[in-house]
């Protein structure tokens, strides 16, 4: 009688784990290329699309067989948490199935025993007794009960007089926090490309720079990453670097709207915590340039008259004041009341928008003081405040516009 | 005290900067950096584990 799918995995798990144990330890040896595309969806979410181009070596294929022409391929290790908008597809954009959590745990159990056996290979210990004693610890890891994992490993080592079980510790740590993504593919006799994607939530801080985890850059012999920058924003700098050592691994073009980085793994220099640092800036002529021009015009309309004009005399004639109020309000509305912006750009420009609002309100109150023919001291105070505020805001906006990126990208900086 | 519009002067890149700027996780974990094994070693390991289980019943 044919085995049920769950039973097939029970039978095949140790073979799959034996092959996966080697393949996962030498990922760059059989994965030719990994391409990541990071799309900034909002100020709280990024979509990460990963494409993995690989060839499973011939001698491993039979071991990875699930039955009936299907094979299990370890694609990645993901953290145990709900996946948002997860998708796995092949070269022809067909959906690719995954092993279930239970099936993954069955193989995970074998991977943990493999790691323990590797630890025991160099030790003079009763490997049979240790293997049996480690059973409950391994089941706890698979049951997501990572409590006291270190303590339980210490107890196992002490009880059997073992050297540190480093291989088991490392594997147990990863499998208690994550799971292997097992893609079920139908053909392994040729080079394959599988693509997975998911949305990653994050908390936007005040900085205009972002650190994207790039753990995968060492998991293929070559790594390509590109960032789909939201409209009206630019990536001022894009750098792949190691957060632990501070070493720059690769750098992309400056002020680019889709910066791309290529990195080839150097097995002699392992990276500890690779990440992609992207520093964003709002395009100059999207808002900052026009806002600086408007603020400067307002400052010129308000500040020199406060210094040189006879405001009391002007108060008798409301025409210019009303014109000033109406024109500044119209420009202000056109620039500020935009709803079609990317949320990240909106967040980035909020302080500069407030500057323009302050500048416009200053002009509005100055014009109103004249228009309503307020008392001379009120006119003086209002215009003095308006003059100072408008000059200050114009200055801030001019500096921000001058420092913001233009629409032209520049080549990547040369590495030392 | 932080002054609005004035960003603190920091180098463009430095060790541990992921703690100071917006951090976007990948959701991935790195496989532990273990001693490389050959397929023969892994198969021998598989056979040993099978033998232990057959002798001592399935660990639970």
Residue-level pLDDT, tens digit, chain A, 416 residues: 566 666 778 889 999 999 999 999 999 999 999 999 999 998 889 999 999 999 999 999 999 998 878 999 999 999 998 889 999 999 999 999 999 999 999 999 999 999 999 999 888 888 888 888 888 889 888 887 666 788 888 988 998 888 899 999 999 999 999 999 999 999 888 999 999 999 999 888 877 789 999 998 888 999 999 999 998 899 999 999 898 888 888 999 999 989 999 999 877 777 778 999 999 999 888 889 989 998 998 899 889 988 888 887 777 776 666 666 656 666 766 666 666 788 888 888 888 989 988 988 888 888 888 878 888 899 999 999 999 999 999 999 999 999 998 877 677 666 65
Torsion of CA A62, A64, A66, A67, to 10 degrees: -10
CA distances from A50 to A34, A86, A113, A244, A350 (A): 7, 11, 30, 24, 33
**Tokens 């394959």, residue located:** A192
Contact B27 A79 (CB under 8 A): yes
Chain A contact for B46 (CB, 8 A cutoff): yes
Helix or strand run (H / E) with residue A51: strand A45-54
Q: Are B59 and A132 in contact (CB under 8 A)?
A: yes
Tell me what pLDDT residue A149 has. 82
Q: Report yes or no for ipTM above 0.85.
A: no
Radius of gyration of chain B (CA): 25
**CA A405 to CA A348: how far, in whole Å?**
14
Question: Which of A81, A140, A209 to probe the B interface (max B CBs under 10 A)?
Answer: A209
Inter-helix orientation angle A166-177/A149-159, to 10°:
150
Tell me what pLDDT residue B58 has. 47
Tell me what pLDDT residue A339 has. 63
Nearest to B42 among A114, A211, A279 (CB): A114
Q: Chain A: residue nearest B39 by CA? A: A22
Helix or strand run (H / E) with residue A54: strand A45-54
Tell me what pLDDT residue A128 has. 85
Contact B22 A210 (CB under 8 A): yes
B44 pLDDT more than 80: yes
Nearest to B45 among A24, A118, A214 (CB): A118
Sort A234 into a burial class: Cβ within 10 Å, 0-12 / 13-18 / 19+. buried
Shortest distance, CA B27 to any CA of chain A (angstroms): 5
Provide the CB-side half-sphere exposure for A191 (13 A, CA): 7
CA distances from A327 to A81, A294, A335, A339, A371 (A): 54, 11, 13, 22, 14
The DSSP secondary-structure symbol of A254 reads: B
Q: Chain A: residue nearest B13 by CA? A: A246
Residues 6-45 of B with CB under 8 A from A: 7, 12-18, 20-39, 41-43, 45
Provide the CB-side half-sphere exposure for A183 (13 A, CA): 25
Shortest distance, CA B1 to any CA of chain A (angstroms): 15
A409: its two tokens: 């990208």
> By three-state DSSP, how is residue A269 classified?
coil
Contact A211 B33 (CB under 8 A): no
**Average pLDDT rounded to a whole number, residues B25-53:** 89
What pTM, to 2 d.p., does this model score? Answer: 0.83
Contact B29 A239 (CB under 8 A): no
> By three-state DSSP, how is residue A304 classified?
helix
Q: Which residues of A touch B26 (CB under 8 A)?
A: 48, 200, 212-216
Q: Which residues of B touch A18 (CB under 8 A)?
A: 39, 42-43, 45-46
Nearest to A22 among B18, B42, B48 (CB): B42
Tell me phi and psi for residue A28, to 5 degrees: -70, -15
Average pLDDT, chain B: 80
**CA A143 to CA A145: how far, in whole Å?**
5
Q: Which residues of A touch B39 (CB under 8 A)?
A: 18-19, 22, 59-60
Contact B31 A18 (CB under 8 A): no
Contact A115 B15 (CB under 8 A): no
Q: Which residues of B touch A24 (CB under 8 A)?
A: 31
Question: Which of B3, B8, B12, B28 to probe the A interface (max A CBs under 10 A)?
Answer: B28
Q: Chain B: residue nearest A218 by CA? A: B30
A247: its two tokens: 């070493």
Contact A207 B22 (CB under 8 A): yes
**CA A62 to CA A18: how far, in whole Å?**
11
């Amino acid at each position: 009688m044919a085995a049920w799918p769950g039973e097939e995995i029970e039978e095949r798990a140790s073979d799959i784990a034996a092959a996966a144990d080697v393949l996962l330890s030498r990922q760059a040896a059989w994965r030719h290329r990994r391409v990541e595309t990071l799309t900034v969806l909002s100020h709280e979410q990024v979509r990460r699309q990963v494409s993995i181009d690989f060839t499973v070596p011939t001698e491993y294929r039979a071991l990875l067989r699930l039955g009936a022409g299907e094979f299990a391929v370890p694609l990645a290790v993901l953290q145990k948490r709900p996946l948002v908008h997860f998708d796995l597809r092949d070269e022809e954009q067909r959906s690719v199935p995954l092993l279930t959590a239970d099936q993954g745990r069955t193989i995970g159990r074998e991977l943990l025993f493999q790691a323990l056996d590797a630890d025991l290979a160099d030790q003079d210990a009763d490997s049979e007794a240790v293997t049996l004693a480690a059973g409950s610890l391994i089941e706890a890891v698979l049951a997501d009960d990572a409590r006291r994992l270190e303590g339980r490993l210490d107890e196992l080592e002490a009880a059997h007089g073992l050297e540190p079980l480093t291989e088991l510790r490392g594997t147990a740590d990863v499998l208690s926090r994550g799971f292997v993504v097992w893609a079920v593919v139908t053909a392994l006799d040729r080079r394959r490309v599988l693509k997975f994607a998911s949305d990653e939530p994050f908390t936007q801080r005040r900085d205009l720079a972002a650190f994207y985890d790039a753990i995968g850059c060492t998991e293929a012999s070559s790594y390509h990453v590109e960032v789909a920058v939201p409209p009206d924003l630019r990536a001022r700098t894009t750098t792949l670097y190691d957060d632990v050592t501070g070493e720059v691994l690769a750098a992309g073009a400056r002020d680019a709207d889709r910066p791309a980085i290529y990195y080839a793994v150097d097995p002699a220099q392992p990276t500890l915590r690779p990440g992609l640092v992207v520093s964003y800036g709002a395009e100059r002529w999207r808002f900052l340039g026009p806002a600086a021009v408007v603020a400067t015009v307002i400052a010129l309309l308000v500040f020199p008259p406060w210094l040189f004009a006879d405001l009391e005399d002007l108060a008798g004639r409301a025409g210019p004041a009303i014109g000033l109020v109406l024109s500044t309000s119209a420009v202000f509305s056109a620039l500020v009341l935009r709803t079609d912006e990317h949320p990240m750009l909106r967040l980035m420009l909020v302080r500069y928008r407030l500057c323009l609002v302050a500048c416009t309100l200053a002009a509005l109150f100055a014009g109103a003081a004249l228009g309503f023919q307020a008392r001379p001291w009120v006119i003086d105070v209002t215009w003095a405040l308006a003059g100072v505020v408008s000059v200050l805001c114009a200055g801030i906006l001019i500096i921000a516009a001058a420092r913001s990126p233009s629409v032209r990208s520049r080549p990547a900086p040369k590495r030392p | 005290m932080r002054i609005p519009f004035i960003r603190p002067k920091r180098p463009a890149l430095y060790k541990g900067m992921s703690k100071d700027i917006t951090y976007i996780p990948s959701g991935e974990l790195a496989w532990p950096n273990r001693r490389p094994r050959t397929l023969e070693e892994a198969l021998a390991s598989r056979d040993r584990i099978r033998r232990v289980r057959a002798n001592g019943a399935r660990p639970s």
